[in-house]
Structure 1
Amino acid sequence: MSNLEFSKLKIILPYNLLAEKLVLSSILTIPEAILLVSEKLPIDAFYLETHQIIYKALLILYAEGKTIDYINLITWIQDHGFLSKIGGSHILLELLNQINNGSNLDEYIGLIYEKYLRRSLIKLGEEIIESGYLTDIPLETIFAKIEQSFFNLIDNKSTKHLISVEQGLQQIIREIEQGLKIPQTPGLKTTFIQLDILTQGFQNSDLIIIAGRPSMGKTAFAFNLAKNIAQYHNTGVVFFSLEMTRQQLLYRLLASEVEITSTRLRTSRIKEKEWFQIHKIISKLSNLKLFIDDTPELSVNDIKLKIKGINLESTKKISLIVIDYLQLLEGKDQNTNRVQELSKITRALKKLARDLNIPIIVLSQLSRNVESRINKRPILADLRESGCINFFFKDKFINFNKLLENRILYCWTGNFVSKQKIFNIKFTGQKPVYKLKTNYGWSLFITSNHKILTQKGWKKLNNITLNNLISTKLLLSIKFLAYYSKAFITWDKVIKITYQKLAPVYDLQISKYSNYFVNRVIVHNSIEQDADVVIMLYRDDYYNKENPKQNIIELIIAKHRNGPIGSTKLIFDPKFLRFFNT
């Protein structure tokens, strides 16, 4: 039976009209609901074309940062010529008047998705019947296609990552064979040769942090990367600028390409021959699939919706996201302290990179610790601003080998204590160590810039004063904690902070939370642990004016989860903010 014959039967496929209306009504009356709905329902999950058009319009409105309401929705639908197709404005008014408090939204989404899967199953059955009549195609080919279609159908969140070692290795061997035929860097090439050799290009699902002190050229470098990748790969790239406006970035881009300073461009001091060159360059740059979003306040969810919106409307899918910069991103919970929030944001960005299966580059500031050292070259600890721990307990050194062997720490989740694995312990050198002593007799040996959870949020040790209250764990039995796990954090008074000596200190990374207990005190953990690649920018001539090698920028790959660390250098053109291979 062909598709045409099947459609002529006018069989109504499974769908839930009321659930579709209630979900769309929920989005219109509670705009935040679109975050949940968009996570779980594709556009064709809605059966009626009318509902598909309305849902797509709502997704695009949100992705463009517009208010989701009746006026904006009907305006979009009218402007795109869909009003008659949905049956008129009264259809939208009916959705607005639908009685719905949104409390059962998850259930309604589930009802829609179940019918969507049933329709997909019917479609697959139809394709199987049609395939049976295709006698010119070998059965093995038909069976393979049916099998693949079936697995695509049942591919959902709970099973899509579950594959056998055999399946995984077969995929790898295909990738290797392809690489033998067409030798190439497996990731997105930046066109900076040595950087591409070290990183093998930026890989899908990777979170890449580019860090540096102010005036190191982070934004210029990241924007160069975005432009190079969009141009070289002829692919979509989105640059989220939370600090600079799109006009400033575009002036920079044009200035670097035509080699005329931004100042001259802004003041229109252009010669006639330069004017023709500007038009030629603009025509060339206009072909780039490079998008700029300068919304000043963005969350990770906002970014996700905007990418989905671009993918809906653009012929080229987005292959890279660049965010300038981490510390300006908005978190979900505005009531938590900012340090915890940044840790949650990096985890959310890593999850987004995996969900979209594209690399995400995010810029980050380095701590001021760099400025206080004789050697200004940044190290990984400068990214974290978390300081380091010296493992003493009641003035006795903790058995470090035992800690390495057990690799277990306890963390505070906000409600209870969670046992977590240590997946990295790094010796960070000899540093000045201070002893903090509490009223209950607990002592802690840490560097001055390590953060401790106080009653007023996270504070570095050098900002904590006597009588400040810090969080500590009550001394309770394991049996008691099993029943009262939410009730054993208390506040302990700081009674003494004294300098001890230069001592060996260590940095720990754990698998999930952004804190851990040391000597019953909650201390802060790294924001860097979620990154797959950390690149730090350093210009020696910024600090050493006598350096004969001017305008050289060093790219220090301080962390590379799937490859080597190292460094490479580029030539930096400060006049036009460009970078070149050395």
Structure 2
Amino acid sequence: MENLELSEGKEGLPYNLLAEKLVLGSILTIPQAIVLASEKLPIEAFYLQSHQIIYKALLLLYAEGKTIDYINLITWLQDNGLLMQIGGTQVLLDLLSQLNQSSNLEEYIALIYEKYIRRALIKLGEEMIESGYLTKIPLETIFTKLERKFFLIAEEKPMKYLVSVEEGLHQILQEIEEGLKLPQVPGLKTTFTDFDFMIQGFQKSDLVIIAGRPSMGKTAFAFTIARNVARNHGMGVIFFSLEMTRQQLLYRLLASEVEIPNTRLRSSKIKRTEWIKINAIINNLSELKFYIDDTPNLSIGEIKLKIKTLGIELSKQIGLVVIDYLQLLEGLKSTDNRVQEISKITRALKKLARELNLPIIVLSQLSRNVESRINKRPMLSDLRESGCISFSLTERTFESILSTRNSILSWNGSSLIREKITHFRITGRKPTYKVQTSLGWSLLISSHHKILTKKGWKRIDKLTLADLICFKLILLSHNKFSITWDKILKITYQDLVPVYDLEISQFSNYLTNHLIIHNSIEQDADIVIMLYRDEYYNKNTVEKDIIEIIVAKHRNGPVGSTKLKFDPKYLRFFNLKDSMKIV
């Protein structure tokens, strides 16, 4: 490999000029190189502004499906008035003249990325020094802000090298052999037999959402799972409680174990004979590697730091993390749009679960729509922030919707329902894509939104030309519709355009220009579990003290439901035989 020396920019910042030239030159001469570069290098990784402009142009050409070569690049730069800004055609010719070897491309990319991270650290260091002089700002606020930025830098890791099929299959074979020595359920068991069988235990790197309306027993159920995992697997378990205090949870735990009402424990109305049982159970519980953190307003970065710190102190693996609950987590960035903020938090939690290689269980509220339905059993569409859903809309789509009497059509699975728009605001300029169908329908949409396809919901950036998308709803009778499908003609990057945020009250989708758009926080979860107690809504139900555990989404297995016996006095759960129904 060629010796690429460290260079310094005008402000003395580290960068590697030759590596930047070699990578850009490689992309121009070997178009397939854009795939590897785009996976590992953000635009800001290039130090020179001219290189950033060239790299961005190459990415846009790639996104539009155009051939990446000198002619298309220079045409794009000319059309956008950027050719002279990069230094003219001579700069591009200089890139083409670079001698490079495609076998060294990953090493050149790694060099660029390393300098990019070093510049970010230098910038953070300067910000730390400046923050030290801001005496009017509390230290806690400064530490939280700087810690968050540090973790964002630390998480910016280059992607791992490709793994061959041979290596991957050998790893799977080893896992299967190890599984033969283990019990039937490979993941972390909850001791609820039917439930464990359905989900095969909680697997490493899984993000699990447990959702329900208030008073359904979410906290009690999750706390029981955490205790059972700590007891049965001997692993460290961390329970982050952002709502209840450590003392409240421990009183619940003790009351459940000793079968003495919580009120009697708190008031110290204990019989002399009960003290023996209390002391014995406390000694037993004290042996568990079960940890409770009741710090309010935690961020993902703070949670990550606490998990890693505790893991080092224990010199043991943390096996499970539980967070109660999602809507109380502090967002990654300050924003007026809490729905989008929650979506970013769930993506960050999934990323954290994969990085730490352990299951993370997060509790979540369900929307108020459950209360307004005759059938109160929850559905996936109920899983969102504060009973409303947010959509990012382009200006054209936004104006089209407002022209329909300030309302919008939502699809409930069988019919269209007109919803009132409750709120809207502009959220800035964002990248948008144009989806075009073979029959001429088109839509401008941001990349994170999902669209209804014949194979289910898919994000725009995951669509392929092989996908069939909904383009027309045919009225049959009694307000019933059938869906017909159309082929995707092409998906092209458009531009940074003003994007609006729209809130409606019920379903997590809307109909626009013959396409059904969806947005929901469940997209990042591997498992979505919903709790339902019929007794809460129907006092005359035959299912007294029964809680239904609904597995509404299971990325790697079946969905369905199972029932447990619920003891409301001590907040305990017990198995019921022959109660499982898998679909």
Do these two structures clear the TM 0.5 threshold for a shared fold by scoring above it?
Answer: yes
For the aligned pair, the TM-score class normalised by the smaller chain equals 0.5 to 0.7
d(CA) in 2 for partners of 1:441, 1:266:
57
Structure 2 residue 508 is matched with structure 1 residue 550:
no
- Cα deviation for residue 542 of structure 1 reads 1.5
Quick one: structure 1 residues 542 and 178, their matched pair in 2 at CA, closer, same or farther if it must change by over 3 Å? same
Q: Spell out, residue by residue over 1:88-120, the C-alpha distance to the aligned partner (whole angstroms, 9 max, x if none).
A: xxxxxxxxxxxxxxxxxxxxxxxxxxxxxxxxx
- Cα deviation for residue 305 of structure 1 reads 1.1
Structure 2 residue 555 is matched with structure 1 residue 561:
yes
Alignment of 1:67-466 (within 5 A): 157-160=157-160, 162-384=162-384, 437-439=401-403, 444-446=408-410, 461-462=419-420, 464=422
- Cα deviation for residue 380 of structure 1 reads 1.4
Do the aligned residues in 2 keep the contact of 1:386 with 1:524 (CA within 8 Å)?
Answer: no
- Cα deviation for residue 368 of structure 1 reads 1.5
d(CA) in 2 for partners of 1:257, 1:192:
17
Do the aligned residues in 2 keep the contact of 1:212 with 1:537 (CA within 8 Å)?
Answer: yes
Q: What's the secondary structure of 2:529's corresponding residue? A: strand
d(CA) in 2 for partners of 1:229, 1:477:
45
d(CA) in 2 for partners of 1:555, 1:211:
10
Quick one: structure 1 residues 503 and 188, their matched pair in 2 at CA, closer, same or farther if it must change by over 3 Å? same
d(CA) in 1 for partners of 2:199, 2:205:
14
Do the aligned residues in 1 keep the contact of 2:211 with 2:531 (CA within 8 Å)?
Answer: yes
- Cα deviation for residue 581 of structure 1 reads 0.8
- Cα deviation for residue 359 of structure 1 reads 0.4
- Cα deviation for residue 203 of structure 1 reads 0.6
Structure 1 unaligned segments of length 5 or more: list them.
1-17, 43-155, 390-410, 418-434, 449-459, 479-484, 488-499, 507-512
d(CA) in 1 for partners of 2:282, 2:522:
38
d(CA) in 1 for partners of 2:445, 2:517:
19
Q: Which runs of 4+ in 1 moved over 2 A?
A: 18-42, 156-162, 180-184, 384-389, 411-414, 435-448, 460-465, 468-474, 500-506, 513-524
Do the aligned residues in 1 keep the contact of 2:409 with 2:511 (CA within 8 Å)?
Answer: no
- Cα deviation for residue 316 of structure 1 reads 2.5
Structure 2 residue 531 is matched with structure 1 residue 537:
yes
Q: Which amino acid aligns with 1:164?
A: S
Match of 1:519 among 509, 512, 519: 512
Quick one: structure 1 residues 232 and 161, their matched pair in 2 at CA, closer, same or farther if it must change by over 3 Å? farther
- Cα deviation for residue 312 of structure 1 reads 2.1
Quick one: structure 1 residues 297 and 505, their matched pair in 2 at CA, closer, same or farther if it must change by over 3 Å? farther
Q: Which amino acid aligns with 2:409?
A: F
Q: Spell out, residue by residue over 1:421-470, the C-alpha distance to the aligned partner (whole angstroms, 9 max, x if none).
A: xxxxxxxxxxxxxx98534999842269xxxxxxxxxxx943538xx778
d(CA) in 2 for partners of 1:486, 1:447:
18
d(CA) in 1 for partners of 2:289, 2:208:
21
d(CA) in 2 for partners of 1:284, 1:24:
47
Q: What's the secondary structure of 2:420's corresponding residue? A: helix
Q: Spell out, residue by residue over 1:10-30, the C-alpha distance to the aligned partner (whole angstroms, 9 max, x if none).
A: xxxxxxxx9999998976846
d(CA) in 2 for partners of 1:470, 1:24:
34
Alignment of 1:6-17 (within 5 A): none
Q: What's the secondary structure of 1:335's corresponding residue? A: coil
- Cα deviation for residue 307 of structure 1 reads 0.9
Q: Spell out, residue by residue over 1:288-312, the C-alpha distance to the aligned partner (whole angstroms, 9 max, x if none).
A: 1111111111111111111111112
Q: What's the secondary structure of 1:549's corresponding residue? A: coil
Do the aligned residues in 2 keep the contact of 1:541 with 1:549 (CA within 8 Å)?
Answer: yes
d(CA) in 1 for partners of 2:429, 2:163:
42
Q: Spell out, residue by residue over 1:462-521, the C-alpha distance to the aligned partner (whole angstroms, 9 max, x if none).
A: 3538xx7789999x998xxxxxx999xxxxxxxxxxxx9845499xxxxxx999996379
- Cα deviation for residue 547 of structure 1 reads 1.8
Which residue in 1 is equivalent to 2:573?
Answer: 579
Normalising by structure 2, we get a TM-score of 0.57
Q: Which amino acid aligns with 1:569?
A: K
Q: Spell out, residue by residue over 1:63-109, the C-alpha distance to the aligned partner (whole angstroms, 9 max, x if none).
A: xxxxxxxxxxxxxxxxxxxxxxxxxxxxxxxxxxxxxxxxxxxxxxx
- Cα deviation for residue 33 of structure 1 reads 3.7
d(CA) in 2 for partners of 1:189, 1:486:
42
Quick one: structure 1 residues 536 and 354, their matched pair in 2 at CA, closer, same or farther if it must change by over 3 Å? same
Structure 2 unaligned segments of length 5 or more: list them.
1-117, 133-141, 413-417, 435-443, 447-476, 484-498, 503-508, 577-583
Q: What's the secondary structure of 2:298's corresponding residue? A: coil
Q: What's the secondary structure of 1:231's corresponding residue? A: helix
Quick one: structure 1 residues 24 and 286, their matched pair in 2 at CA, closer, same or farther if it must change by over 3 Å? farther
Q: Spell out, residue by residue over 1:349-385, the C-alpha distance to the aligned partner (whole angstroms, 9 max, x if none).
A: 1111111111000011111221122221111112137
- Cα deviation for residue 538 of structure 1 reads 0.8
Do the aligned residues in 2 keep the contact of 1:192 with 1:581 (CA within 8 Å)?
Answer: yes
d(CA) in 2 for partners of 1:577, 1:326:
22
Which residue in 2 is equivalent to 1:99?
Answer: none
- Cα deviation for residue 213 of structure 1 reads 1.0
- Cα deviation for residue 524 of structure 1 reads 6.3
Across the two proteins, how many residue pairs are aligned to each other? Answer: 375
Quick one: structure 1 residues 263 and 176, their matched pair in 2 at CA, closer, same or farther if it must change by over 3 Å? same
Do the aligned residues in 1 keep the contact of 2:408 with 2:419 (CA within 8 Å)?
Answer: no
Which residue in 1 is equivalent to 2:50?
Answer: none
Q: Which amino acid aligns with 1:350?
A: K
